[in-house]
Amino acid sequence: MANAIYQKEDDDRRSTSAKLPKNHLHRGPSLLYTAPALLFFGVFALVPLVGVAILSFTNWDGLSAITFNGLGNWNRMLNDPLVLNAIKITIILTVVSWAVQTPICILLGTFMAGPQKYRALLGVLYFIPLLFSSTAVAITFKKLLDPNFGVGRAFGIDWLAHNWLGDPKTALYAIIFVVSWCFIPLHSLLYQGAVRQVPTSMYEAATIDGAGTVRQFFSITLPQLKYTFATDSTLMIVGSLTYFDLVYVMTAGGPGNATRILPLDMYLKGFKSYDMGGASVVGVIILALGIAVSLILNRLSGSDKMESQMEGA
Amino acid sequence: MRGTLRNKIVRFVAVIVAGGTLLGTTACGSTPAGAASGSGATVWSLNDSTWSSVKETFVEWNKDHPNEQIKNEEFANDAYKEKIRSAIGSGNGPTLVLSWGGSPVTDYVSNKNVVDLTSDLNSVVKSKVLDVVAAEGYRDGKLYAVPVGQVQPAILWTNKAVLKEAGISAAPTTWDELLQDVAKLKAAGKTPISLAGGSKWPYLMWAAYLIDRIGGPDVMKDILAGKTNAWSNAAVIEAMAKIQQLVDAGAFGDSYTSMTADDKADTALLANGQAGFDLMGTWVYADFASINASFAKNDLGFAAFPKVEGGKGDPTMLTGNLANYWSVASSASKTSRATAVSYLKSNTYSDSIVKGLLSSGGVPPVKGIENEIKSADDGTGFLTYVYNAVKKASSYQLSLDVALPSAQGQALLNNLEQVFLKQITPKQFAEAMNKTLE
Amino acid sequence: MIRIKNKQYNLVGGFLGWVWLLIVVIPIYYIVVTSLRDQSEIYSTNPLSLPSKPTLDAYGRVFANDFLLYIGNTLFVTLVTVVLTLLVTIMAAYAITRRADGPARTIYKVIIVGLAIPMQATIIPVYYLIIKMGLYDTLWAIILPSVGFAIPITVMILCNFLRDIPQSLFEAMEVDGASEFKIMFKLAIPMIKPAIITVAIYDALQVWNGFLFPLILTQSQSNRVITMSLWAFQGQFTVDIPGLLAAVVVSVIPLLTAYIFGRKQMVAGLTAGFSK
């Protein structure tokens, strides 16, 4: 929703600025205005960005001095079954949670966009999970999914009392469920905003043509959500590269590495095995994946729009 | 021109803002709470019940030493392990550094994070503490870690009532008996063995005991010495196969992977009559009493880990933690270190501490306290049993995650978990672990 | 389906809508009833039944554990981070949009790169920096990197809004001889106030619920924030499930209150992250 608005306003602005003379003399305030922001961004974002690359070529156990060891860590990490496993798990988590959330979000968003009052009210309730910290959500679901005193016992349904987080076959999917619980409200809200922007006239025309609800959904609503779909997917996919809190509190990567995603592997290597060099290699891998995904999705989707938005500064 | 004045003001403001932010941060950020400044010392301790007698000594100390206060902060076990190293690496650690001996102490010593305590405390430690426990505090003949608290071997706890219900008359003394008991308990609808797999380190007790019972203490010695392919020893492979044999027999139930020791989930299962056995450290004795007092008094049994037929190991061998240890941080101020040392001098297994430990169900690793133990016994014979087991032990293997360097220890926990989950075979386990020795 | 005259009902959406309501409500209901339950009931009764004798004891145990201190720490960290972030980003965004020349564009691009990067991956060098700065285990160790990480999105959103201010308004003030500083305060900031509120809420939520920075960069009880204390309670309140869930309830009450009173702004603030 927000994005659609920015996009629209962005377009408006460009049309006005186009009317201004190109040789407009005024140069505005000093660049020093940007200094404090650049300082913070430089020290806590750019320096660490370079730093993680440098540290990936060093040995550091958190106690003794840092020493260079060339490609040693990279050799070790690229042959480490834990890292390969983490990449695999991360991809599964990313793809499955995207595939599960997107259709639900589109449907829920469309539903919430309806004019009926109660739907808006449901929207208000859907939003509540967003107020919880991941830690709070993780603790809650850890208890709820407990086979001994969790929700399985509440309904007396045997399969529900399964040891979801303790079974390596189901732990990752249990986490995807909790991730969905957290984030579906947000993404639905975005689709709701997008659906509301679809011109009513399009539906009216379709109704006159005798198209039913289902057909209208597929022939009008879905195509109109294309742009939201692309940006929302980017957000979801890049976001899922960095789920840490939820997984850390719920399973700490277990059982048996079943949920040991890349950020967790990095943390455990760095702060449990005190292999900061190896952990930095994993950090660089996460960075590379994140940038690659952003670039690819940006190319595939509204790359022009995004570019122009950046250029427009 | 307007522009120049404007630029000046802007530049001025920008500099003030940028400078002010940085200044503000350094000014306010200069007193991390962990670091001890000036007089007095800081200490981090654990929040489990067995620490109560140690905590009392801080209270007592603070009463008697108004100018040398010791500030105690409590952590849960796993949280502590996670934090202490970062704290020490950053110079923000407490004055008194708690450890379990092993590789962390070795690392602290080699990085000069802790100070040599030989001249101050050698005689106290040597004269009071049982040799096997005292020895862990020395590196190259110098004392760096002073024992504190109770001795903590892992023993096989039993619920006698549950065993009886399943038709088992006594704790198993051999591996085959254990397997039979598992089958009987399962038939009786119980979880045969309670295991806090979520914490991972309880897996180590099974591995260490089995490796020892099968191959004797030399197997682990080779591994700890970092000998090439030491993990491929036939005893290790067989031990892993035996673990998987237990898993196949359903010995640990279906929810062990999500039970954690910090939650006391495993001890609760035994105390509440849902399980027959629990292989766990002696420190849980007090927990049993707090979870279910009548169980602790009447039905709680304890035994040595069974021997394996044909194995080289000796059933008196123990594994587990020896005790806890105090080291003194070199980053602390001189006066803080002095406070810490004088606290240790007067509080290393003093008579009142020994008494306090015994009354809370812990066995102090102190020489010649047979009489005190006898008089403190609550009728279960537990204290005497543990004291004698430690004294008679032919060898005592420190918990492997502590004994091994931290990266190897973490790899062991990780691979061992996969053995329990049957995600890897014993052979794959050995191969994966051999890689960590390279 | 929407705003249409005929009354065809969106069956799939409707069904899902109600099912999702249940999925959202059951866990929340569970947290609340369990936090009111007596410890002894936990293992014996149906976890979703109403407590037979509701009690606030669990909340007492939570507050006896310094929870107010943790709320105070979190408030401090959140407020300082948001104020610092706004201060530096408003100035930067103002200069970038007003100048709109080559250097400004370059600066904008550099900052915007931060949006495409999973910044958490740089936690190890951040940890190293914080130790070297002597800030480890202080609240500033959370604040400073949080400001650094919040800058890209905040600058981008503010720039988007600043660019909407008609040039003529700026020119009018310049003609009146107002300094840039004055123009920023008198014109730009009031004009983009909704955007400032939105990003402030967004940044505040990120910090309030943040976990990784406090986990890695602080340790002691006196510097604990709410998320850390929940995590610590998990280890401490080992068998005290009502206590643990009471802590969860307490942790969310401030945000819930904000949501009740400022729902529109909260929603806008949360979805601000979407413009990534």
| B346-353: long-range pairs with CB below 8 Å, 24+ | B346/B61, B347/B57, B347/B61, B348/B121, B348/B124, B348/B125, B348/B128, B348/B129, B348/B146, B348/B147, B348/B148, B349/B128, B349/B129, B349/B147, B353/B53, B353/B54, B353/B57
Please name the chains neighbouring C, where neighbouring means 3+ C-beta pairs under 8 angstroms: A, B
User: Touching check for C145 and chain A: CB below 8 Å?
Assistant: yes
pLDDT surpasses 60 at A3: no
Torsion of CA A310, A307, A302, A197, to 10 degrees: 40
Q: Tokens representing B357?
A: 């430990």
Counting residues of chain C whose pLDDT is more than 70, the rounded percentage is 92
Q: Which residue has the higher pLDDT, B147 or A160?
A: B147
pLDDT surpasses 60 at A77: yes
> What are the pLDDT digits (tens) for B2-52?
334 444 334 433 433 443 344 333 333 334 444 444 568 999 988 777 788
Stretch C130-141: mean pLDDT, rounded?
Answer: 90
Domain check: are B357 and B279 in the same one?
Answer: no
Q: Structurally, how many domains does chain A consist of?
A: 1
Cβ-contact A187, C268 below 8 angstroms? no
Stretch A112-140: mean pLDDT, rounded?
Answer: 87
pLDDT surpasses 60 at A310: no
Counting one residue from chain A and one from chain C, the pairs whose CB atoms sit within 8 A come to 359
Q: Which of B11, B198, B414 lies closest to A257 in CB terms? A: B414
Stretch C58-63: mean pLDDT, rounded?
Answer: 89
Domain check: are B311 and B203 in the same one?
Answer: yes
Which DSSP state fits C50?
A: P
Cβ-contact C22, A129 below 8 angstroms? no
ipTM: 0.88
Cβ-contact A57, A277 below 8 angstroms? yes
Q: How far is C273 from chain A (nearest CA, A)?
A: 9
Q: Which residue has the higher pLDDT, C95 or C1?
A: C95
Helix (H, G, I), strand (E, B) or coil at B188: coil
Residue A160 lies inside a defined structural domain of this protein: yes
Q: For the purposes of burial, counting CB atoms within 10 Å of the CB of B82, is it exposed (0-12), middle (13-18) or buried (19 or more)? A: middle
User: Touching check for C259 and chain A: CB below 8 Å?
Assistant: yes
Chain B positions in Cβ-Cβ contact with residue A273 (cut-off 8 Å): 406-407, 409-411
pLDDT surpasses 80 at B389: yes
Disruptive mutation site among C122, C149, C203, C260 for chain A (greatest number of A CBs within 10 Å):
C122
As a whole number of angstroms, the longest Cα–Cα distance in chain A is 76
Residue A17 lies inside a defined structural domain of this protein: no
Q: How far is C109 from chain A (nearest CA, A)?
A: 7
Domain check: are B142 and B164 in the same one?
Answer: no
pLDDT surpasses 60 at B88: yes
Among chain B residues, the shortest Cα distance to C85 is held by B21
pLDDT surpasses 60 at A10: no
Q: How confident is the model at residue C65 (pLDDT cuts 50, 70, 90)?
A: confident
Mean pLDDT in chain A?
82
Stretch A133-154: mean pLDDT, rounded?
Answer: 84
In this predicted structure, which of A94-103, B239-248, C109-118 has the lowest mean pLDDT?
Answer: C109-118
Q: How confident is the model at residue C274 (pLDDT cuts 50, 70, 90)?
A: low
pLDDT of B334 reads 92
Q: Which residue has the tokens 């460009």?
A: A14
Q: How far is C143 from chain A (nearest CA, A)?
A: 11
Residues paired with B158 in a beta bridge: B277, B301
Q: How far is A62 from chain B (nearest CA, A)?
A: 6
Q: Which residues of C62-79 are buried (b: 16+ CB within 10 A; e: fewer)?
A: beebebeebbebbeebbe
Domain check: are B268 and B201 in the same one?
Answer: yes
Residue B172 lies inside a defined structural domain of this protein: yes
Residues paired with B327 in a beta bridge: B97
Residue B374 lies inside a defined structural domain of this protein: no
Beta-carbon separation of A52 and C121 below 8 A = yes
Chain C positions in Cβ-Cβ contact with residue B9 (cut-off 8 Å): 179, 181
Residue B123 lies inside a defined structural domain of this protein: yes
Give residue limits of the domains in chain C.
11-55, 61-275
Chain B positions in Cβ-Cβ contact with residue A62 (cut-off 8 Å): 85-86, 89
Q: How confident is the model at residue A203 (pLDDT cuts 50, 70, 90)?
A: confident
Which DSSP state fits A55?
A: H
User: Touching check for C254 and chain A: CB below 8 Å?
Assistant: no
Domain check: are B246 and B304 in the same one?
Answer: yes
pLDDT of B312 reads 92
On the CB side of A212, CA atoms within 13 Å amount to 5
User: Touching check for C160 and chain A: CB below 8 Å?
Assistant: yes
| B283-289: long-range pairs with CB below 8 Å, 24+ | B283/B48, B283/B50, B283/B150, B283/B152, B283/B362, B284/B157, B285/B361, B285/B362, B285/B382, B286/B49, B286/B50, B286/B360, B286/B361, B286/B362, B287/B48, B287/B49, B288/B157, B289/B361
Residue A173 lies inside a defined structural domain of this protein: yes
Residue B231 lies inside a defined structural domain of this protein: yes
Disruptive mutation site among C127, C133, C137 for chain B (greatest number of B CBs within 10 Å):
C137
Domain check: are B57 and B163 in the same one?
Answer: no
Q: What CATH number should be reported for the domain holding residue A169? A: 1.10.3720.10
- Main-chain phi, psi angles of B157, to 5 degrees: -85, 145
Q: What is the DSSP string of A158-218?
A: TGGGS-TTTSTTTHHHHHHHHHHHHHHHHHHHHHHHHHHTS-HHHHHHHHHTT--HHHHII
The sheet carrying B41-46 orders its strands as B70-75, B41-46, B96-99, B324-328, B146-148
Domain check: are B293 and B421 in the same one?
Answer: yes
Stretch B415-424: mean pLDDT, rounded?
Answer: 94
Domain check: are B402 and B272 in the same one?
Answer: yes
**Fold entry, domain C61-275:** MetI-like fold (1.10.3720)
Among chain A residues, the shortest Cα distance to C41 is held by A149
Show the domain range for B236. Answer: 152-320+396-437
pTM of the predicted structure, to 2 decimals: 0.84
Among chain A residues, the shortest Cα distance to B269 is held by A148
pLDDT surpasses 70 at A248: yes
Among chain B residues, the shortest Cα distance to C141 is held by B29
Counting one residue from chain A and one from chain B, the pairs whose CB atoms sit within 8 A come to 99
pLDDT of A9 reads 39
Q: What CATH number should be reported for the domain holding residue B229? A: 3.40.190.10
Q: Which helix (H) or strand (E) holds A120?
A: helix A117-126
Domain check: are B288 and B144 in the same one?
Answer: no
Q: Structurally, how many domains does chain B consist of?
A: 2
Domain check: are B65 and B124 in the same one?
Answer: yes
Domain check: are B190 and B284 in the same one?
Answer: yes
Q: How confident is the model at residue A5 (pLDDT cuts 50, 70, 90)?
A: very low
Q: How far is B7 from chain A (nearest CA, A)?
A: 6
> What are the pLDDT digits (tens) for B132-165?
999 999 999 999 999 999 999 999 999 999 999 9
Residue B431 lies inside a defined structural domain of this protein: yes
Mean pLDDT in chain B?
87
Q: How far is B206 from chain C (nearest CA, A)?
A: 24
pLDDT surpasses 70 at C21: yes
Beta-carbon separation of A36 and B407 below 8 A = no
Among chain C residues, the shortest Cα distance to B24 is held by C140
Query: Could you give the angle at the alpha carbon of A84 between the alpha carbons of A80 and A85, nearest 5°?
Result: 110
At position B339, the amino acid (one-letter code) is T
Residue A41 lies inside a defined structural domain of this protein: no
The highest-confidence range among A252-256, B166-170, C171-175, by mean pLDDT, is: B166-170
Counting residues of chain A whose pLDDT is more than 90, the rounded percentage is 38
Domain check: are B200 and B111 in the same one?
Answer: no
Q: How confident is the model at residue C114 (pLDDT cuts 50, 70, 90)?
A: confident
Show the domain range for A283. Answer: 59-311
- Main-chain phi, psi angles of B16, to 5 degrees: -60, -45
